[in-house]
Amino acid sequence: MVAFSFTALVGIAVLTCLFMAWVLGANSNSPPFAPAIGANAISTMQAAFVIGLLAAAGALMQGGSISETIGADLINGVTITPLAATAGLLTAAGFMSIGIYTRYPIPAAFATTGAMVGVGLSLGGDPAMATYRRLGIFWLLVPIMSGGLAYATATILRRDDVPETVGVPLLAGIVGAIVANVRLGVIPDPTAEQGTLAGFVARLFGGGPTLAAGIDLGTVLVTIAVGLLAFAWVRRQVRESVESGIRSFLLVLGGIVAFSSGGSQVGLATGPLENLFRTELGLPGFLLLAIGAVGILAGAWMGAPRLLQATSREYAQLGVRRSIAALVPGFIIAQLAIALGIPISLNNIILSGVIGGGLAGGSAGVSRRKIGVTITFWLLTLGSSVVVSYGLYRLFVTIIGG
Distance CA 337, CA 264 (A): 7
- Quote the number of domains for the chain: 1
Three-state SS letters, 73-110: HCEECCCCCHHHHHHHHHHHHHHHHHHHHHCCCCCHHH
**Is 127 a domain residue?**
yes
For residues 344 and 334, the answer to whether their CB atoms sit within 8 Å is yes
User: What is the Cα 332 distance to its own chain's centre?
Assistant: 11
3-state secondary structure of 139: helix
**Is 94 a domain residue?**
yes
In this predicted model, what pLDDT tens digit does every residue of 223-240 receive, in sequence order? 999 999 999 999 999 998
In this predicted model, what pLDDT tens digit does every residue of 48-88 receive, in sequence order? 888 889 989 999 888 888 888 898 889 998 888 888 999 99
**Is 147 a domain residue?**
yes
The range of the structural domain enclosing residue 248 comes to 6-399
Distance CA 230, CA 217 (A): 20
In this predicted model, what pLDDT tens digit does every residue of 107-155 receive, in sequence order? 888 889 999 999 999 999 999 999 999 998 998 888 888 888 888 888 8
**Is 1 a domain residue?**
no
DSSP labels, 23-52: HHHHHTTSGGGHHHHHTTSS-HHHHHHHHH
Instruction: Please list, in sequence order, all residues whose beta carbon lies within 8 angstroms of the beta carbon of residue 183, skipping any fewer than 6 positions away.
Output: 62, 192, 194, 195, 196, 338, 339
pTM as predicted: 0.84
**Is 288 a domain residue?**
yes
Distance CA 350, CA 356 (A): 10
**Is 357 a domain residue?**
yes
